[in-house]
Amino acid sequence: MRTNTGQIVHLENYRPTDFVLERVDLTFELDPRETKVEARMIFHRREGVSPSAPLVLDGDELTMTGLLLDQVAVPGTLYEATDDTLTIRGLPEAAPFEITVTTALSPETNTKLMGLYRTSDVYCTQCEAEGFRRITYFPDRPDVLAVYTVNIIADKASAPLLLSNGNYLGGADMGDGRHFASWFDPHPKPSYLFALVAGDLGVVEDAFTTASGRDVALKIYVEHGKEPRAAYAMDALKRSMKWDEEVFGREYDLDIFMIVAVSDFNMGAMENKGLNIFNDKYVLADPETATDADYANIEAIIAHEYFHNWTGNRITCRDWFQLCLKEGLTVYRDHEFSADMRSRAVKRIAEVRHLKSEQFPEDAGPLAHPVRPTQYREINNFYTTTVYEKGSEVTRMIATILGRDLFKKGMDLYFERHDGQAVTIEDFIACFEAASGRDLKQFSLWYHQAGTPLVTATGTYDAARQTYTLSLEQTVPPTPGQSSKAPMHIPLRFGLLLPDGSEARPSAVSGAEITGDVLHLTERKQTVTFSGIPSEPVPSFNRGFSAPVNLHLTQSAEHRALIARHETDLFARWQALNAMALDNLVKAAAEARTGQPIDCDDALVDALLAAAGDDRLEPAFRSQVMSLPSETDIGREIGSNNDPDAIYAGRQAILAAIATAGKDTFARLVNEMSLSGPFRPDADSAGRRALRNSGLSYLVYADGSPDKAADAFSSANNMTDLSQALTLLAHRFPDARETADALAVFKKRFADNALVIDKWFAIQATIPGASTLDRVRALMSDPLFNASNPNRVRSLVGTFAFANATGFNRIDGEGYRFLARQILDIDTRNPQLAARILTSMRSWRSLEKIRAGHARSALEEIARASNLSADVSDIVDRMLK
């Protein structure tokens, strides 16, 4: 096993390869234990490179069985193979030459799920970021683009289906029980986009005609018998293809687009050219087994991977430091797609909730890094919420600063200038500068400075002069490797609301550039004066969450309630209510900690109930309003010396107060929001289910009896309602007979549906309280637990560590010790998965000192272990630094 080989890679050391790769021909003879791979690569020396420079190829855990130069064996004196490189000397000075490398692989024992591996008897590959080097020696970096031909030979009975990138060339029976197929991808691509799938799968077929009239065959491959569950994914794919034509002017470019769903996958999905490979969790859905959230995720991830065809594949990254070039931009595109398919405001609320609960903590802890980092030890650890979600927010800010039309012009220029290239963030930004004539130098600090900026605002009104003055100040907190920061360009959308709820129209503004409703904050301190303001206004800041910042603005509950009633921006209404709730929850946590009575503000209860019961508002929005900030959100707001038990107790008390006060409203919602007729996964129906379930959970809370939840469980006719009812039972009444019965019924009914059983594990892993650890331990010996399936491990171990604040952060430190042992065990099989789950401890330094002490010991225990992977060792070292 490789131990700790991760060398630090620095952006400043980037230089192009010495040799240009022109073409690749790959032949796979598939076998579970002895797959033979022959890679023929045509190279030529780049102009100006020394004639004696050797060719250095990347490798990882490879067994090489042959090496030829122009079909002649390379003598041992002219090459050297180490653990991770193959160096070949004595190559032609200028003429092209062919290198043939033959390797032997064992897909079946590849538990890292990188390179070529087996999942449920299917051969499949995952090459991003550096998995191709586990297949053959190769210049495995994104700036090496080549045209690939792939020949696949396999046993015909067990692998009737042979797939790779591009267009199908042909195939034939080989007469010995084997057959072959050939694929040719005309689009030059980096190796991380290579894919191969072989096995016996069912297929759902459809077709799409592009705007210019190209007919594209669409195929989604799933396990036999699961074809009906791929219908929604197919629908989402066709909508994505159409949307990308309409909104970004991007057409698909091959005759076929394929998606394969597999059950063992480290991440969500992968955008391999023409052959996307998906975690089946993001493909398979039907009403009986998928929740509304599952449907929304499938829609978003199908779109995301499809959109990569232009933002990622046609235009790719020069090096892995530029990962946000494709990921941040593609997340932005999938966010916009979902916003167009669903309710824009509700989608934005969900995005911001996710950003604040995942990315803000990352940016505030030991793993903080810039959206475009400058160094890494293990690139797999940089597929982070900062690169993806903050990267998307940065793209969104460009659109906000430039406005719709200039943003579009910049995107068009990007596609025109860089199609077929491997480029950098600087290239991307230059397109928007050229299209708009605007200098984005200061703005680009968003890519380079880590940490969530803090904006403080105070307003004063001068009645005599009818002016309103805002004093704004920004600070960016220090982060690892970056102790001091320069002021950023922060585009803040805002409005000044007058007491009657209308919006003030200032006659003049000084002190800041204002475009439309965007205030451009560019200095460390800025004073902005608005004239012609008839009475003291209530400022509403960061409409639509135009900038990913923390905003400190002391505002009374009454002022927040005014925003919640009158803002024209629906997101801002939710934001005001959420801020009001957060103030109260922080106070409640402090009261719980010191044993004082917990006080719930009447203004909060009134405002929440008013919004929840307001039939003019869409149900999904009302449900978002009713869902209080999470324990993580409260902890982040408190910032340091956190006690998760106090946060939990405070939050429960506020929930109880709202539940009691709102009984009638909630009962009405449960009645009015029930749906009849067949299940439909659309956003409106999902919104009604969400609001009904929010109402139900408050009612159950007020009741103190499991009856209503048990009834909901028995009468549910879709997975959203069923899993919600089970969650209510398990979380509120973990020891009740009703809960044990429901858990047993659920398990029995879905025992052969892995994705649903993942929910069964996750619901139990999130039961609040110290005793859940014992439950989690017991569940690990359940026959349905499977330590080698990433989804299953994430659903139990991952969910417990990421989403159970009271259970995981037990005061005796047992949660951390448990996790440490799990991480060490998982690491022996799948380092990427282990490293990812370990990031659940990223906020350990903000815990109170007893817990923080236990957390540190657990991290040190991991750090001390021998044979740690580079993945885990990178994370644990950064967390302890």
Residue ranges that bind ligand ARG, judged by CB under 6 A:
126, 128-129, 266-268, 270-271, 380, 383, 832
Closest to 52 measured CA to CA, from 21, 20, 92: 92
Is the CB of 6 or the CB of 491 nearer to ligand ARG?
6
Is the CB of 330 or the CB of 550 nearer to Zn ion?
330
Closest to 283 measured CA to CA, from 272, 300, 760: 300
Reduced to 3 states (helix: H, G, I; strand: E, B; else coil), residue 263 is coil
Is the CB of 309 or the CB of 697 nearer to ligand ARG?
309
Note the maximum CA span of the chain. 96
Is the CB of 123 or the CB of 383 nearer to ligand ARG?
383
State the minimum distance, in angstroms, from the CB of residue 118 to ligand ARG: 17
State the minimum distance, in angstroms, from the CB of residue 387 to Zn ion: 10
State the minimum distance, in angstroms, from the CB of residue 312 to Zn ion: 7
Is the CB of 190 or the CB of 807 nearer to ligand ARG?
190
CB-based contacts of 48, cutoff 8 Å, min separation 6: none
State the minimum distance, in angstroms, from the CB of residue 381 to ligand ARG: 9
| Amino acid in position 837 | I
Strand 256-262 versus strand 275-279 pairing type: parallel
- Residue that is written with structure tokens 């100040």 in the block: 473
Burial of 82 by CB count in 10 Å (0-12 exposed, 13-18 middle, 19+ buried)?
exposed
Q: Which of residues 297-336 bind Zn ion (CB under 5 A)?
A: 327, 330
Reduced to 3 states (helix: H, G, I; strand: E, B; else coil), residue 574 is helix
Q: Could you tell me where the beta strands, DSSP code E, fall in 701-855? A: none
Is the CB of 38 or the CB of 128 nearer to ligand ARG?
128
CA trace torsion 348, 354, 360, 365 (10° rounding): -170
Q: Look at residue 846 and give the partner it binds from Zn ion, ligand ARG, none, a contact being a CB closer than 5 to 8 Å depending on partner kind.
A: none
Category of 709 on φ-ψ map: left (φ > 0), alpha (ψ -120 to 50) or beta? alpha
**Cα–Cα distance measured from residue 73 to residue 65, given in angstroms and rounded to the nearest whole number:** 11
Is the CB of 377 or the CB of 560 nearer to ligand ARG?
377
Is the CB of 193 or the CB of 765 nearer to ligand ARG?
193
- Residue that is written with structure tokens 């970096």 in the block: 141
Q: Look at residue 383 and give the partner it binds from ligand ARG, Zn ion, none, a contact being a CB closer than 5 to 8 Å depending on partner kind.
A: ligand ARG
Burial of 60 by CB count in 10 Å (0-12 exposed, 13-18 middle, 19+ buried)?
buried
CA distances from 719 to 268, 607, 723 (A): 21, 31, 6
Reduced to 3 states (helix: H, G, I; strand: E, B; else coil), residue 391 is helix
State the minimum distance, in angstroms, from the CB of residue 330 to Zn ion: 5
Closest to 217 measured CA to CA, from 182, 246, 258: 258
State the minimum distance, in angstroms, from the CB of residue 683 to Zn ion: 23
CB-based contacts of 276, cutoff 8 Å, min separation 6: 257, 258, 259, 260, 269, 270, 305, 306
Category of 194 on φ-ψ map: left (φ > 0), alpha (ψ -120 to 50) or beta? beta
Q: Which of residues 264-303 bind Zn ion (CB under 5 A)?
A: none
Q: Look at residue 129 and give the partner it binds from Zn ion, ligand ARG, none, a contact being a CB closer than 5 to 8 Å depending on partner kind.
A: ligand ARG
Q: Could you tell me where the beta strands, DSSP code E, fall in 75-233? A: 79-81, 85-88, 97-105, 115-119, 122-126, 146-155, 161-164, 167-173, 178-189, 196-199, 202-209, 215-222
Closest to 482 measured CA to CA, from 354, 638, 331, 372: 372
Is the CB of 263 or the CB of 272 nearer to Zn ion?
272
**Cα–Cα distance measured from residue 532 to residue 730, given in angstroms and rounded to the nearest whole number:** 57
Contact 18/45 with Cβ under 8 angstroms? yes
Q: Look at residue 721 and give the partner it binds from Zn ion, ligand ARG, none, a contact being a CB closer than 5 to 8 Å depending on partner kind.
A: none
Q: Look at residue 343 and give the partner it binds from ligand ARG, Zn ion, none, a contact being a CB closer than 5 to 8 Å depending on partner kind.
A: none
Category of 775 on φ-ψ map: left (φ > 0), alpha (ψ -120 to 50) or beta? alpha
Residue 357 carries which DSSP code? I
Strand partners, 220: 204, 259
Closest to 880 measured CA to CA, from 452, 357, 358, 367: 367
Residue 305 annotated to the active site: yes
State the minimum distance, in angstroms, from the CB of residue 304 to Zn ion: 6
Is the CB of 327 or the CB of 567 nearer to Zn ion?
327
**Cα–Cα distance measured from residue 844 to residue 846, given in angstroms and rounded to the nearest whole number:** 5
State the minimum distance, in angstroms, from the CB of residue 212 to ligand ARG: 27
Is the CB of 300 or the CB of 658 nearer to ligand ARG?
300
State the minimum distance, in angstroms, from the CB of residue 385 to ligand ARG: 12
Is the CB of 282 or the CB of 666 nearer to ligand ARG?
282
State the minimum distance, in angstroms, from the CB of residue 421 to ligand ARG: 18
State the minimum distance, in angstroms, from the CB of residue 113 to ligand ARG: 8
Q: Which of residues 53-92 bind Zn ion (CB under 5 A)?
A: none
Q: Look at residue 322 and give the partner it binds from ligand ARG, Zn ion, none, a contact being a CB closer than 5 to 8 Å depending on partner kind.
A: none
Closest to 387 measured CA to CA, from 301, 478, 303, 450: 450
Q: Look at residue 35 and give the partner it binds from Zn ion, ligand ARG, none, a contact being a CB closer than 5 to 8 Å depending on partner kind.
A: none
Q: Look at residue 488 and give the partner it binds from ligand ARG, Zn ion, none, a contact being a CB closer than 5 to 8 Å depending on partner kind.
A: none
**Cα–Cα distance measured from residue 37 to residue 102, given in angstroms and rounded to the nearest whole number:** 6
Please give the size of the binding site for Zn ion, defined by CB under 5 A.
Answer: 2
Q: Look at residue 827 and give the partner it binds from Zn ion, ligand ARG, none, a contact being a CB closer than 5 to 8 Å depending on partner kind.
A: none
Closest to 569 measured CA to CA, from 517, 645, 514: 517
State the minimum distance, in angstroms, from the CB of residue 267 to Zn ion: 9
State the minimum distance, in angstroms, from the CB of residue 320 to ligand ARG: 10
**Cα–Cα distance measured from residue 369 to residue 449, given in angstroms and rounded to the nearest whole number:** 8
Q: Look at residue 128 and give the partner it binds from ligand ARG, Zn ion, none, a contact being a CB closer than 5 to 8 Å depending on partner kind.
A: ligand ARG
**Cα–Cα distance measured from residue 714 to residue 731, given in angstroms and rounded to the nearest whole number:** 17
| Residue among 271, 305, 351, 389 flagged as catalytic | 305
Is the CB of 271 or the CB of 631 nearer to ligand ARG?
271
Catalytic residue ranges? 305
Enumerate binding residues for Zn ion (CB under 5 A).
Answer: 327, 330
